[in-house]
């Protein structure tokens, strides 16, 4: 038994903040942001709009595309690092709103790799017969933990949610998922405020995303090269077999490096960072949904999804769509 993607969806806040808008907020320029990151604009949640709101919107769109109702859903997993509450988890909130009561619902906290981690878990449940219709969501409101006075981070992030419905199939489907992590790098990209840990005397780090961008960049490029090689080798595939690369949307230069490794022209890479910025766990499912809905991604094609983020965590998934 395999799992296959039966439908995709996304939900973005209405408000768009352009690079030009940010020129009035911090000492930056549209030119710097575009040339260093590829980002042109990002969506930012309205006051009171939460990660669960966006997750619900993406879930409803994916369910409509898959032709399933709440009664069909028997498994919900959400990748997020910006939950509405510590608990209940975002999956439970979405489950209640959809009226899919009773099925397991939980969140996975793996930063930008959260959706790939969630997809991998749901895939294994379906493949083993433990679920028959899974909702897999990546959803974030990173704007809530962004320091809007720090030009090195605030120009990068955005809010949004993407989702897929996974169903059983006799043919793959999801061919393989590959996950990894290395907590030794945790100081390069982190948010210092949790529930259990208290600030130590003298610590000044505020409740925001802290990132040593340049160092993260280097490890991201190397790790993503390794994981795409590993994914192809595990499936005995040549690089030319991949129809679409659907990468985490952190930086155009990181994406270009991965595409070069795959010997792929950028025309075969789904890019949304110009419109969405870096939306962490939401970026890969939103990019998938964009390319499905605009007709680029077709049934039967081979897709390589990958992500890298805080932890560090990373992951990839090879999918016959």
Contact yes or no for 82/24 (Cβ under 8 A):
no
Binding mask 265-284 for ligand UT7 (x = CB under 6 A): -------------x------
């690092």: which residue's tokens?
81
Q: Which of 246, 251, 248, 255 is nearest to 211 (CA)?
A: 251
Q: Which stretch binds ligand UT7 (CB under 6 A): 31-39, 94-102, 166-174, 291-299?
A: 31-39
Residue nearest to ligand UT7 (CB): 213
Q: Which stretch binds ligand UT7 (CB under 6 A): 68-76, 137-145, 238-246, 248-256?
A: 248-256
Contact yes or no for 3/122 (Cβ under 8 A):
yes
Among 158, 173, 309, 311, binds ligand UT7 (CB under 6 A): 309
Of 250 and 292, CB closest to ligand UT7: 250
Among 214, 238, 265, 300, binds ligand UT7 (CB under 6 A): 214
Whether 278 is a known active-site residue: answer yes
Q: Which of 19, 286, 36, 64 is nearest to 161 (CA)?
A: 286
Q: How far is the CB of 109 from ligand UT7 (least distance, A)?
A: 14
- The count of other CB atoms within 10 Å of the CB of residue 136 is 29
Q: Which stretch binds ligand UT7 (CB under 6 A): 67-75, 88-96, 168-176, 209-217?
A: 209-217
Q: Is 151 in the site for ligand UT7 (CB under 6 A)?
A: yes
Q: How far is the CB of 286 from ligand UT7 (least distance, A)?
A: 14
Q: How far is the CB of 210 from ligand UT7 (least distance, A)?
A: 12
Among 23, 28, 34, 190, binds ligand UT7 (CB under 6 A): 28
Q: Is 89 in the site for ligand UT7 (CB under 6 A)?
A: no
Binding mask 94-123 for ligand UT7 (x = CB under 6 A): ------------------x-----------
Whether 92 is a known active-site residue: answer no
Q: Is 311 in the site for ligand UT7 (CB under 6 A)?
A: no
**Which residues, 6 or more positions from 271, have their beta carbon under 8 angstroms from its beta carbon?**
38, 249, 252, 255, 287
Q: Is 32 in the site for ligand UT7 (CB under 6 A)?
A: yes
Of 43, 178, 191, 248, the active-site residue reads 248
What are the C-alpha distances in Å from 43 to residues 97, 187, 248, 273, 292? 23, 27, 16, 11, 20
φ, ψ dihedrals at 169, nearest 5°:
-150, 155
Q: How far is the CB of 214 from ligand UT7 (least distance, A)?
A: 4
Q: Is 213 in the site for ligand UT7 (CB under 6 A)?
A: yes
Q: How far is the CB of 311 from ligand UT7 (least distance, A)?
A: 10
Whether 103 is a known active-site residue: answer no
Of 83 and 277, CB closest to ligand UT7: 277
Q: Is 188 in the site for ligand UT7 (CB under 6 A)?
A: no
Q: Which residues are marked as active site?
A: 112, 248, 278
Binding site for ligand UT7 (CB under 6 A): 28, 32-33, 36-37, 112, 151-152, 155, 213-214, 216-217, 220, 250-251, 254, 278, 308-309
């Amino acid at each position: 038994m395999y799992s296959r993607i039966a439908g995709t969806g996304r939900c973005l806040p209405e408000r768009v903040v352009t690079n030009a808008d940010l020129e009035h907020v911090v000492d930056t320029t549209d030119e710097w942001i575009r040339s260093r990151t590829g980002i042109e604009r990002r969506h930012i949640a309205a006051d009171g709009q939460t990660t669960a709101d966006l997750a619900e919107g993406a879930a409803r769109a994916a369910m409509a595309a898959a032709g399933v109702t709440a009664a069909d859903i028997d498994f919900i997993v959400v990748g997020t690092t910006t939950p509405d509450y510590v608990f209940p988890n975002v999956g439970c909130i979405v489950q209640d709103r959809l009226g899919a009561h009773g099925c397991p619902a939980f969140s996975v906290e793996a930063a930008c790799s959260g959706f790939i981690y969630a997809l991998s878990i749901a895939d294994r449940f379906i493949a083993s017969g433990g679920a028959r219709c899974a909702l897999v969501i990546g959803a974030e409101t990173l704007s809530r933990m962004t320091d809007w006075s720090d030009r090195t981070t605030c120009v990068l992030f955005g809010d949004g949610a993407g989702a897929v419905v996974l169903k059983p199939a006799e043919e793959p489907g999801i061919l393989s998922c590959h996950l990894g992590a290395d907590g030794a790098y945790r100081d390069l990209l982190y948010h210092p405020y949790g529930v259990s840990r208290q600030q130590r005397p003298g610590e000044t780090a505020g409740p925001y995303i802290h990132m040593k961008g340049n160092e993260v960049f280097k490890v991201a490029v190397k790790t993503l090269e390794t994981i795409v090689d590993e994914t192809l080798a595990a499936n005995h595939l040549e690089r030319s077999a991949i129809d679409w690369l659907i990468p985490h949307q952190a930086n155009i230069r990181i994406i270009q490096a991965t595409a070069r490794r795959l010997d792929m022209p950028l025309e075969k890479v789904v890019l949304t960072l110009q419109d969405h910025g870096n939306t962490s766990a939401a970026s890969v499912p939103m990019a998938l949904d964009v390319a499905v809905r605009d007709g680029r991604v077709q049934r039967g094609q081979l897709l390589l999804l990958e992500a890298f983020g805080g932890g560090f965590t990373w992951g990839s998934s090879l999918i016959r769509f």
